Amino acid sequence: MATSPYYDCVVIGGGASGFFTAIRLKEEAPHLSVCILEAQQSTLGKVKISGGGRCNVTHILPETTEDSAIPKALMGFYPRQYPQLLGHFIEWSPAQMLGWLEKHGVPTKVEKDGRAFPASDDSGSIVHVFESACEAWGIPIRTGARVTDVVKRSTIEVEPHLPQFQHAEANFILRLSSNVLIEAKTIVLATGGSENGYRLAEQLGLTLTPKVPSLFTFKIDDVDLTELAGVSLPWVKAKLQFPKAMQESFPKAVQKAIPKGGITQEGAFLVTHWGVSGPVVLKLSAWGAFALEASKYQATLLLDCLPDLPDESILTALRDERVTSAKKWIANACPFEALPKRWWFYLIDKAGIDGYTPWQEVGEKKAITQLCEVLKRLALPIVGKGVFKEEFVTAGGVALPSVNPNSLEAKTTAGCYVVGELLNVDGLTGGFNFHHCWASANTVACAIANQLDGV
Ligand SMILES: Cc1cc2nc3c(=O)[nH]c(=O)nc-3n(C[C@H](O)[C@H](O)[C@H](O)COP(=O)(O)OP(=O)(O)OC[C@H]3O[C@@H](n4cnc5c(N)ncnc54)[C@H](O)[C@@H]3O)c2cc1C
Protein backbone atom coordinates (compact mmCIF):
# COMPACT_ATOMS: atom_id res chain seq x y z
CA MET A 1 0.00 0.00 0.00
CA ALA A 2 1.36 3.43 -0.99
CA THR A 3 2.11 5.78 1.87
CA SER A 4 -0.18 8.80 1.94
CA PRO A 5 1.58 12.15 1.88
CA TYR A 6 1.75 13.96 5.20
CA TYR A 7 1.91 17.72 5.91
CA ASP A 8 2.01 19.77 9.08
CA CYS A 9 -0.76 21.84 7.54
CA VAL A 10 -3.08 21.24 4.62
CA VAL A 11 -5.00 24.24 3.32
CA ILE A 12 -8.25 23.20 1.64
CA GLY A 13 -9.07 25.80 -1.03
CA GLY A 14 -6.73 27.68 -3.37
CA GLY A 15 -8.37 31.10 -3.23
CA ALA A 16 -7.17 34.38 -1.71
CA SER A 17 -7.47 33.27 1.91
CA GLY A 18 -5.99 29.80 1.33
CA PHE A 19 -2.90 31.12 -0.47
CA PHE A 20 -2.29 33.85 2.06
CA THR A 21 -2.62 31.42 4.98
CA ALA A 22 -0.08 29.04 3.45
CA ILE A 23 2.40 31.81 2.63
CA ARG A 24 2.10 33.56 6.00
CA LEU A 25 2.50 30.21 7.77
CA LYS A 26 5.80 29.57 5.98
CA GLU A 27 6.91 33.11 6.83
CA GLU A 28 6.17 32.48 10.51
CA ALA A 29 7.44 28.89 10.67
CA PRO A 30 9.58 28.10 7.61
CA HIS A 31 10.33 24.49 8.54
CA LEU A 32 6.67 23.42 8.71
CA SER A 33 5.36 21.56 5.68
CA VAL A 34 2.32 23.14 4.04
CA CYS A 35 0.30 22.23 0.99
CA ILE A 36 -2.70 23.75 -0.81
CA LEU A 37 -5.48 21.60 -2.27
CA GLU A 38 -7.73 23.18 -4.88
CA ALA A 39 -10.82 21.53 -6.34
CA GLN A 40 -10.67 23.36 -9.68
CA GLN A 41 -8.04 22.96 -12.39
CA SER A 42 -6.70 26.43 -11.64
CA THR A 43 -6.28 28.50 -8.49
CA LEU A 44 -7.12 32.06 -7.39
CA GLY A 45 -10.12 32.21 -9.75
CA LYS A 46 -11.88 35.02 -7.90
CA VAL A 47 -8.71 37.08 -7.48
CA LYS A 48 -8.27 37.02 -11.25
CA ILE A 49 -11.73 38.46 -11.96
CA SER A 50 -11.87 40.69 -8.88
CA GLY A 51 -12.37 44.44 -9.05
CA GLY A 52 -13.21 44.24 -12.75
CA GLY A 53 -9.83 42.59 -13.40
CA ARG A 54 -7.96 45.16 -11.28
CA CYS A 55 -8.29 43.47 -7.84
CA ASN A 56 -9.34 45.95 -5.18
CA VAL A 57 -6.95 44.40 -2.72
CA THR A 58 -7.79 46.33 0.47
CA HIS A 59 -9.04 49.70 1.70
CA ILE A 60 -7.14 52.62 3.19
CA LEU A 61 -9.24 54.81 5.47
CA PRO A 62 -8.91 58.62 5.29
CA GLU A 63 -5.77 60.14 6.83
CA THR A 64 -7.95 61.75 9.49
CA THR A 65 -8.47 58.29 11.01
CA GLU A 66 -5.92 57.82 13.81
CA ASP A 67 -3.85 54.63 13.41
CA SER A 68 -5.18 53.22 16.66
CA ALA A 69 -8.77 53.83 15.51
CA ILE A 70 -8.39 52.02 12.18
CA PRO A 71 -9.33 48.47 13.27
CA LYS A 72 -12.55 49.66 14.89
CA ALA A 73 -13.37 52.00 11.99
CA LEU A 74 -12.90 49.10 9.54
CA MET A 75 -15.54 47.08 11.36
CA GLY A 76 -18.15 49.64 10.27
CA PHE A 77 -17.77 48.34 6.71
CA TYR A 78 -19.03 44.86 7.64
CA PRO A 79 -22.84 45.03 7.77
CA ARG A 80 -23.31 42.19 10.27
CA GLN A 81 -20.87 44.02 12.62
CA TYR A 82 -18.75 41.23 14.04
CA PRO A 83 -16.86 42.34 17.17
CA GLN A 84 -14.69 39.23 16.74
CA LEU A 85 -12.96 40.90 13.78
CA LEU A 86 -11.25 43.55 15.87
CA GLY A 87 -8.29 41.42 16.95
CA HIS A 88 -7.60 40.24 13.38
CA PHE A 89 -7.65 43.80 12.07
CA ILE A 90 -5.32 44.92 14.86
CA GLU A 91 -2.86 42.18 13.86
CA TRP A 92 -3.12 42.74 10.10
CA SER A 93 -4.06 46.24 8.89
CA PRO A 94 -4.66 47.44 5.32
CA ALA A 95 -1.36 49.36 5.48
CA GLN A 96 0.43 46.13 6.47
CA MET A 97 -1.09 44.36 3.48
CA LEU A 98 0.09 47.07 1.12
CA GLY A 99 3.50 46.93 2.81
CA TRP A 100 3.60 43.16 2.30
CA LEU A 101 2.78 43.54 -1.39
CA GLU A 102 5.37 46.32 -1.86
CA LYS A 103 7.99 44.16 -0.13
CA HIS A 104 7.18 41.32 -2.51
CA GLY A 105 7.57 43.54 -5.58
CA VAL A 106 3.99 44.69 -6.16
CA PRO A 107 3.66 48.48 -5.99
CA THR A 108 0.15 49.62 -5.12
CA LYS A 109 -1.94 52.76 -5.43
CA VAL A 110 -4.83 54.10 -3.38
CA GLU A 111 -7.68 55.85 -5.15
CA LYS A 112 -9.48 58.93 -3.74
CA ASP A 113 -12.24 56.81 -2.24
CA GLY A 114 -9.74 54.64 -0.34
CA ARG A 115 -9.80 51.59 -2.62
CA ALA A 116 -6.32 50.12 -3.05
CA PHE A 117 -5.19 48.34 -6.23
CA PRO A 118 -1.94 47.01 -7.64
CA ALA A 119 -0.31 49.94 -9.49
CA SER A 120 -0.48 47.82 -12.65
CA ASP A 121 -4.32 47.88 -12.46
CA ASP A 122 -4.02 44.17 -13.18
CA SER A 123 -5.17 41.44 -10.81
CA GLY A 124 -2.55 39.25 -12.52
CA SER A 125 0.07 41.04 -10.37
CA ILE A 126 -1.57 39.67 -7.21
CA VAL A 127 -1.95 36.19 -8.67
CA HIS A 128 1.69 36.28 -9.73
CA VAL A 129 3.02 37.39 -6.34
CA PHE A 130 1.12 34.63 -4.53
CA GLU A 131 2.23 31.96 -7.00
CA SER A 132 5.84 33.16 -6.83
CA ALA A 133 5.80 33.16 -3.03
CA CYS A 134 4.48 29.58 -2.99
CA GLU A 135 7.21 28.54 -5.38
CA ALA A 136 9.89 30.30 -3.33
CA TRP A 137 8.68 28.63 -0.13
CA GLY A 138 8.23 25.26 -1.82
CA ILE A 139 4.51 25.07 -1.06
CA PRO A 140 2.99 22.34 -3.25
CA ILE A 141 -0.29 23.30 -4.93
CA ARG A 142 -2.47 20.40 -6.04
CA THR A 143 -5.20 21.40 -8.48
CA GLY A 144 -8.14 19.16 -9.40
CA ALA A 145 -7.91 18.02 -5.78
CA ARG A 146 -11.38 18.30 -4.28
CA VAL A 147 -11.54 17.19 -0.67
CA THR A 148 -14.67 15.10 -0.21
CA ASP A 149 -14.21 13.86 3.37
CA VAL A 150 -12.14 14.59 6.42
CA VAL A 151 -11.57 11.92 9.05
CA LYS A 152 -10.48 13.02 12.52
CA ARG A 153 -8.16 10.84 14.56
CA SER A 154 -10.63 11.00 17.41
CA THR A 155 -13.34 9.24 15.33
CA ILE A 156 -11.11 6.51 13.98
CA GLU A 157 -11.27 4.16 16.96
CA VAL A 158 -15.04 4.10 17.02
CA GLU A 159 -15.46 3.64 13.27
CA PRO A 160 -13.08 0.88 12.16
CA HIS A 161 -14.27 0.94 8.51
CA LEU A 162 -12.61 4.35 8.03
CA PRO A 163 -9.08 4.60 6.54
CA GLN A 164 -6.25 4.01 8.99
CA PHE A 165 -3.67 6.65 9.90
CA GLN A 166 -0.16 5.97 8.56
CA HIS A 167 1.57 8.91 10.23
CA ALA A 168 1.79 9.10 14.01
CA GLU A 169 1.75 12.92 14.03
CA ALA A 170 -1.33 13.22 11.82
CA ASN A 171 -4.68 14.29 13.26
CA PHE A 172 -6.66 14.28 10.01
CA ILE A 173 -7.02 12.12 6.90
CA LEU A 174 -8.34 13.96 3.87
CA ARG A 175 -9.96 12.01 1.07
CA LEU A 176 -9.86 13.59 -2.39
CA SER A 177 -12.48 12.95 -5.08
CA SER A 178 -9.81 10.82 -6.82
CA ASN A 179 -9.77 8.66 -3.66
CA VAL A 180 -6.21 9.76 -2.87
CA LEU A 181 -5.65 10.13 0.87
CA ILE A 182 -3.56 12.89 2.43
CA GLU A 183 -2.71 13.17 6.12
CA ALA A 184 -2.26 16.35 8.09
CA LYS A 185 -1.53 17.53 11.57
CA THR A 186 -3.66 20.67 11.10
CA ILE A 187 -6.11 21.68 8.41
CA VAL A 188 -7.39 25.05 7.25
CA LEU A 189 -10.82 25.32 5.66
CA ALA A 190 -10.51 28.05 3.01
CA THR A 191 -13.31 26.93 0.73
CA GLY A 192 -15.15 30.26 0.33
CA GLY A 193 -18.90 30.20 -0.30
CA SER A 194 -18.89 26.74 -1.97
CA GLU A 195 -21.49 24.16 -0.95
CA ASN A 196 -19.03 21.30 -0.53
CA GLY A 197 -16.93 23.52 1.73
CA TYR A 198 -19.98 24.02 3.94
CA ARG A 199 -20.49 20.25 4.00
CA LEU A 200 -16.90 19.71 5.16
CA ALA A 201 -17.34 22.37 7.84
CA GLU A 202 -20.49 20.64 9.09
CA GLN A 203 -18.71 17.27 9.05
CA LEU A 204 -16.10 18.80 11.35
CA GLY A 205 -18.74 19.92 13.82
CA LEU A 206 -18.83 23.61 12.90
CA THR A 207 -22.15 25.43 13.08
CA LEU A 208 -23.38 27.15 9.93
CA THR A 209 -25.58 30.23 9.83
CA PRO A 210 -28.07 30.69 6.97
CA LYS A 211 -26.45 31.94 3.78
CA VAL A 212 -27.78 34.64 1.47
CA PRO A 213 -26.27 36.64 -1.36
CA SER A 214 -24.91 40.12 -0.72
CA LEU A 215 -23.70 42.96 -2.99
CA PHE A 216 -26.21 42.88 -5.82
CA THR A 217 -28.18 45.38 -7.91
CA PHE A 218 -31.97 45.86 -7.82
CA LYS A 219 -34.34 44.96 -10.62
CA ILE A 220 -36.94 47.73 -10.90
CA ASP A 221 -40.26 47.39 -12.65
CA ASP A 222 -40.43 50.75 -14.46
CA VAL A 223 -39.80 51.04 -18.21
CA ASP A 224 -39.55 54.83 -18.05
CA LEU A 225 -36.73 54.42 -15.55
CA THR A 226 -34.73 51.71 -17.34
CA GLU A 227 -34.84 53.78 -20.53
CA LEU A 228 -32.57 56.16 -18.64
CA ALA A 229 -29.81 53.51 -18.32
CA GLY A 230 -26.51 55.29 -17.75
CA VAL A 231 -27.96 58.27 -15.87
CA SER A 232 -26.29 58.73 -12.50
CA LEU A 233 -26.83 60.95 -9.47
CA PRO A 234 -23.69 61.79 -7.48
CA TRP A 235 -25.32 61.65 -4.02
CA VAL A 236 -28.71 60.34 -2.93
CA LYS A 237 -30.20 58.97 0.25
CA ALA A 238 -32.06 55.71 -0.26
CA LYS A 239 -34.19 53.60 2.02
CA LEU A 240 -35.54 50.07 1.75
CA GLN A 241 -39.22 49.76 2.68
CA PHE A 242 -41.19 46.59 3.21
CA PRO A 243 -44.96 46.44 3.72
CA LYS A 244 -45.65 46.27 7.48
CA ALA A 245 -47.35 42.87 7.32
CA MET A 246 -44.49 41.45 5.27
CA GLN A 247 -41.87 42.79 7.67
CA GLU A 248 -43.75 41.26 10.60
CA SER A 249 -43.58 37.89 8.86
CA PHE A 250 -39.74 37.99 8.63
CA PRO A 251 -37.82 35.73 11.04
CA LYS A 252 -37.40 37.48 14.40
CA ALA A 253 -33.61 37.89 14.00
CA VAL A 254 -34.11 39.55 10.62
CA GLN A 255 -36.74 41.93 12.03
CA LYS A 256 -34.42 42.80 14.90
CA ALA A 257 -31.58 43.69 12.54
CA ILE A 258 -33.71 46.31 10.75
CA PRO A 259 -33.06 49.73 12.33
CA LYS A 260 -36.09 51.70 13.58
CA GLY A 261 -35.98 54.23 10.75
CA GLY A 262 -35.52 51.46 8.14
CA ILE A 263 -32.41 50.41 6.23
CA THR A 264 -31.01 53.67 4.87
CA GLN A 265 -27.78 54.44 2.99
CA GLU A 266 -26.27 57.34 1.07
CA GLY A 267 -24.02 57.48 -1.97
CA ALA A 268 -23.91 57.61 -5.75
CA PHE A 269 -26.81 56.11 -7.70
CA LEU A 270 -26.87 54.65 -11.19
CA VAL A 271 -29.72 53.65 -13.49
CA THR A 272 -29.07 50.44 -15.43
CA HIS A 273 -30.90 48.81 -18.30
CA TRP A 274 -32.93 46.71 -15.92
CA GLY A 275 -32.96 48.61 -12.65
CA VAL A 276 -30.62 50.48 -10.39
CA SER A 277 -27.06 50.10 -9.14
CA GLY A 278 -24.23 52.23 -7.78
CA PRO A 279 -22.60 52.35 -4.34
CA VAL A 280 -25.80 53.31 -2.52
CA VAL A 281 -27.66 50.30 -3.94
CA LEU A 282 -24.83 47.86 -3.23
CA LYS A 283 -24.62 49.11 0.35
CA LEU A 284 -28.38 48.64 0.76
CA SER A 285 -28.14 45.12 -0.68
CA ALA A 286 -25.46 44.30 1.89
CA TRP A 287 -27.13 45.87 4.94
CA GLY A 288 -30.51 44.51 3.84
CA ALA A 289 -29.26 41.12 2.56
CA PHE A 290 -31.32 39.02 4.98
CA ALA A 291 -34.44 41.24 4.91
CA LEU A 292 -34.42 41.28 1.11
CA GLU A 293 -34.04 37.51 0.99
CA ALA A 294 -36.95 37.14 3.44
CA SER A 295 -39.06 39.43 1.22
CA LYS A 296 -38.12 37.36 -1.87
CA TYR A 297 -36.52 40.54 -3.19
CA GLN A 298 -39.81 42.48 -3.23
CA ALA A 299 -39.54 45.91 -1.61
CA THR A 300 -39.83 49.62 -2.28
CA LEU A 301 -36.77 51.77 -2.78
CA LEU A 302 -37.50 55.25 -1.45
CA LEU A 303 -35.16 57.79 -2.99
CA ASP A 304 -34.25 61.23 -1.73
CA CYS A 305 -32.55 62.85 -4.74
CA LEU A 306 -31.53 65.99 -2.83
CA PRO A 307 -30.59 64.76 0.67
CA ASP A 308 -28.92 68.04 1.65
CA LEU A 309 -32.10 70.07 1.12
CA PRO A 310 -35.09 69.86 3.44
CA ASP A 311 -38.61 69.96 1.95
CA GLU A 312 -38.97 73.65 2.81
CA SER A 313 -35.86 74.66 0.82
CA ILE A 314 -37.03 72.61 -2.14
CA LEU A 315 -40.49 74.17 -2.10
CA THR A 316 -38.90 77.64 -1.96
CA ALA A 317 -36.56 76.84 -4.87
CA LEU A 318 -39.48 75.56 -6.96
CA ARG A 319 -41.57 78.67 -6.18
CA ASP A 320 -38.62 80.94 -7.04
CA GLU A 321 -38.15 79.13 -10.35
CA ARG A 322 -41.80 79.80 -11.15
CA VAL A 323 -40.95 83.50 -11.02
CA THR A 324 -37.45 83.57 -12.55
CA SER A 325 -38.28 81.15 -15.40
CA ALA A 326 -41.92 82.14 -15.72
CA LYS A 327 -42.13 81.76 -19.50
CA LYS A 328 -39.81 78.75 -19.86
CA TRP A 329 -41.13 75.21 -20.12
CA ILE A 330 -40.69 73.37 -16.89
CA ALA A 331 -38.68 70.68 -18.70
CA ASN A 332 -36.13 73.27 -19.79
CA ALA A 333 -35.52 74.94 -16.43
CA CYS A 334 -34.49 72.80 -13.49
CA PRO A 335 -33.68 74.73 -10.31
CA PHE A 336 -31.31 71.98 -9.03
CA GLU A 337 -27.89 71.82 -10.67
CA ALA A 338 -27.07 68.39 -9.24
CA LEU A 339 -29.85 66.72 -11.26
CA PRO A 340 -29.08 65.47 -14.77
CA LYS A 341 -31.53 66.78 -17.39
CA ARG A 342 -32.94 63.34 -18.23
CA TRP A 343 -33.53 62.66 -14.55
CA TRP A 344 -35.43 65.97 -14.21
CA PHE A 345 -37.66 64.99 -17.19
CA TYR A 346 -38.36 61.66 -15.50
CA LEU A 347 -39.28 63.32 -12.22
CA ILE A 348 -41.57 65.85 -13.92
CA ASP A 349 -43.35 62.95 -15.56
CA LYS A 350 -43.59 61.07 -12.23
CA ALA A 351 -45.14 64.21 -10.71
CA GLY A 352 -47.81 64.04 -13.44
CA ILE A 353 -46.78 67.33 -15.06
CA ASP A 354 -46.53 67.98 -18.80
CA GLY A 355 -42.94 69.10 -19.47
CA TYR A 356 -44.17 71.71 -21.98
CA THR A 357 -46.03 73.60 -19.26
CA PRO A 358 -44.56 77.09 -18.75
CA TRP A 359 -43.36 77.53 -15.17
CA GLN A 360 -45.85 80.36 -14.56
CA GLU A 361 -48.69 77.89 -15.11
CA VAL A 362 -47.40 75.39 -12.58
CA GLY A 363 -49.96 75.26 -9.81
CA GLU A 364 -48.96 75.48 -6.17
CA LYS A 365 -51.13 72.80 -4.64
CA LYS A 366 -50.76 69.89 -6.98
CA ALA A 367 -47.66 70.47 -9.09
CA ILE A 368 -45.21 72.12 -6.69
CA THR A 369 -46.09 69.79 -3.82
CA GLN A 370 -45.99 66.77 -6.10
CA LEU A 371 -42.58 67.76 -7.51
CA CYS A 372 -41.20 68.14 -4.01
CA GLU A 373 -42.62 64.72 -3.16
CA VAL A 374 -40.87 62.92 -6.05
CA LEU A 375 -37.63 64.80 -5.41
CA LYS A 376 -37.59 63.74 -1.76
CA ARG A 377 -39.53 60.46 -1.72
CA LEU A 378 -39.52 58.80 -5.12
CA ALA A 379 -40.86 55.26 -4.70
CA LEU A 380 -39.30 52.64 -6.98
CA PRO A 381 -40.67 49.07 -6.87
CA ILE A 382 -37.91 46.46 -6.43
CA VAL A 383 -39.04 43.22 -8.07
CA GLY A 384 -35.87 41.18 -8.00
CA LYS A 385 -32.18 40.83 -7.50
CA GLY A 386 -29.60 41.46 -10.17
CA VAL A 387 -25.92 40.69 -10.17
CA PHE A 388 -23.06 43.05 -9.67
CA LYS A 389 -20.30 42.14 -12.10
CA GLU A 390 -17.43 43.53 -10.06
CA GLU A 391 -18.08 41.82 -6.77
CA PHE A 392 -20.43 39.39 -5.13
CA VAL A 393 -20.19 37.66 -1.79
CA THR A 394 -22.10 35.27 0.43
CA ALA A 395 -23.39 36.55 3.76
CA GLY A 396 -23.53 33.75 6.34
CA GLY A 397 -21.27 30.72 6.75
CA VAL A 398 -19.39 29.25 9.69
CA ALA A 399 -20.86 30.83 12.81
CA LEU A 400 -18.25 32.89 14.63
CA PRO A 401 -19.16 31.49 18.06
CA SER A 402 -18.14 28.03 16.80
CA VAL A 403 -14.49 29.14 16.39
CA ASN A 404 -12.06 30.56 18.90
CA PRO A 405 -12.03 34.32 18.15
CA ASN A 406 -8.27 34.64 18.73
CA SER A 407 -7.13 31.75 16.55
CA LEU A 408 -10.17 30.89 14.36
CA GLU A 409 -9.69 27.24 15.44
CA ALA A 410 -12.89 25.18 15.53
CA LYS A 411 -14.06 24.78 19.11
CA THR A 412 -15.28 21.24 18.36
CA THR A 413 -12.18 20.09 16.45
CA ALA A 414 -8.71 21.00 17.64
CA GLY A 415 -6.30 21.58 14.76
CA CYS A 416 -9.03 22.62 12.29
CA TYR A 417 -9.05 26.33 11.37
CA VAL A 418 -11.37 28.47 9.24
CA VAL A 419 -10.49 31.50 7.08
CA GLY A 420 -11.97 33.87 4.50
CA GLU A 421 -15.41 33.92 3.02
CA LEU A 422 -16.36 30.57 4.56
CA LEU A 423 -16.65 32.40 7.87
CA ASN A 424 -19.86 34.27 8.59
CA VAL A 425 -18.27 37.60 7.67
CA ASP A 426 -19.14 39.74 4.68
CA GLY A 427 -18.11 43.27 3.86
CA LEU A 428 -19.14 46.14 1.63
CA THR A 429 -17.44 46.72 -1.72
CA GLY A 430 -14.18 48.64 -1.57
CA GLY A 431 -11.59 45.96 -0.71
CA PHE A 432 -13.14 44.93 2.62
CA ASN A 433 -13.88 41.34 1.61
CA PHE A 434 -10.29 40.70 0.59
CA HIS A 435 -9.06 42.48 3.68
CA HIS A 436 -10.99 40.03 5.82
CA CYS A 437 -9.32 37.20 3.84
CA TRP A 438 -5.82 38.56 4.52
CA ALA A 439 -6.48 39.34 8.19
CA SER A 440 -8.13 35.99 8.98
CA ALA A 441 -5.37 34.16 7.08
CA ASN A 442 -2.73 35.99 9.10
CA THR A 443 -4.50 35.10 12.36
CA VAL A 444 -4.69 31.42 11.45
CA ALA A 445 -1.10 31.25 10.17
CA CYS A 446 0.21 32.77 13.41
CA ALA A 447 -1.99 30.47 15.52
CA ILE A 448 -0.79 27.33 13.70
CA ALA A 449 2.85 28.47 13.87
CA ASN A 450 2.33 29.04 17.56
CA GLN A 451 0.67 25.69 18.10
CA LEU A 452 3.15 23.57 16.12
CA ASP A 453 6.25 25.56 16.68
CA GLY A 454 5.68 27.23 20.01
CA VAL A 455 6.69 30.52 18.29
C1 LIG B 1 -16.63 38.92 -9.41
C2 LIG B 1 -16.08 39.17 -8.03
C3 LIG B 1 -15.23 40.25 -7.83
C4 LIG B 1 -14.74 40.53 -6.55
N5 LIG B 1 -13.93 41.61 -6.37
C6 LIG B 1 -13.48 41.92 -5.14
C7 LIG B 1 -12.60 43.01 -4.93
O8 LIG B 1 -12.17 43.68 -5.86
N9 LIG B 1 -12.23 43.29 -3.64
C10 LIG B 1 -12.65 42.54 -2.58
O11 LIG B 1 -12.29 42.85 -1.45
N12 LIG B 1 -13.43 41.46 -2.76
C13 LIG B 1 -13.84 41.13 -4.01
N14 LIG B 1 -14.64 40.03 -4.20
C15 LIG B 1 -14.90 39.15 -3.06
C16 LIG B 1 -13.66 38.23 -2.90
O17 LIG B 1 -13.33 37.71 -4.16
C18 LIG B 1 -13.94 37.11 -1.91
O19 LIG B 1 -14.26 37.69 -0.67
C20 LIG B 1 -12.69 36.24 -1.78
O21 LIG B 1 -12.27 35.75 -3.03
C22 LIG B 1 -12.95 35.06 -0.86
O23 LIG B 1 -11.76 34.31 -0.85
P24 LIG B 1 -11.70 32.85 -0.23
O25 LIG B 1 -10.32 32.38 -0.46
O26 LIG B 1 -12.23 32.87 1.15
O27 LIG B 1 -12.74 32.01 -1.09
P28 LIG B 1 -12.67 31.66 -2.66
O29 LIG B 1 -11.99 32.71 -3.42
O30 LIG B 1 -14.07 31.33 -3.04
O31 LIG B 1 -11.76 30.39 -2.74
C32 LIG B 1 -12.18 29.15 -2.27
C33 LIG B 1 -11.51 28.08 -3.07
O34 LIG B 1 -11.76 26.82 -2.47
C35 LIG B 1 -11.97 25.87 -3.47
N36 LIG B 1 -12.71 24.74 -2.87
C37 LIG B 1 -14.00 24.75 -2.44
N38 LIG B 1 -14.29 23.54 -1.91
C39 LIG B 1 -13.17 22.79 -2.01
C40 LIG B 1 -12.86 21.45 -1.64
N41 LIG B 1 -13.77 20.67 -1.06
N42 LIG B 1 -11.60 20.98 -1.87
C43 LIG B 1 -10.66 21.78 -2.45
N44 LIG B 1 -10.92 23.06 -2.84
C45 LIG B 1 -12.16 23.55 -2.61
C46 LIG B 1 -12.75 26.62 -4.53
O47 LIG B 1 -12.68 26.00 -5.78
C48 LIG B 1 -12.07 27.99 -4.49
O49 LIG B 1 -11.00 28.07 -5.40
C50 LIG B 1 -15.12 39.71 -5.46
C51 LIG B 1 -15.95 38.61 -5.68
C52 LIG B 1 -16.41 38.34 -6.95
C53 LIG B 1 -17.29 37.13 -7.17
pTM equals 0.93
Report pLDDT digits (tens) over 136-188: 999 999 999 999 999 998 775 556 667 788 899 999 999 999 999 999 999 99
Predicted local confidence at residue 26, as pLDDT: 98
Predicted local confidence at residue 81, as pLDDT: 78
Residues with CB under 6 A from ligand 1: 12-18, 37-40, 45-46, 49-51, 55-56, 146-147, 190-194, 196-197, 200, 390-393, 420-422, 431-434, 437
Domains and CATH numbers, the chain: 6-211+393-453 (3.50.50.60), 216-387 (no CATH)
Phi, psi of 285, rounded to the nearest 5 degrees: -65, -30
Q: How far is 265 from 175, CA to CA, in rounded Å? A: 46
State which ligand 1 atom lies nearest to the alpha carbon of 422: 26
**What separation in angstroms does the CA of 151 have from each of 24, 147, 199, 200, 437?**
26, 11, 13, 10, 26
Residues lower than pLDDT 50 in the chain? 455
Q: How far is 217 from 220, CA to CA, in rounded Å? A: 10
Interval between CA 129 and ligand 1 midpoint (Å): 17
Predicted local confidence at residue 365, as pLDDT: 72
Closest residue to atom 6 of ligand 1, CA basis: 50
State which ligand 1 atom lies nearest to the alpha carbon of 16: 25
DSSP 314: H
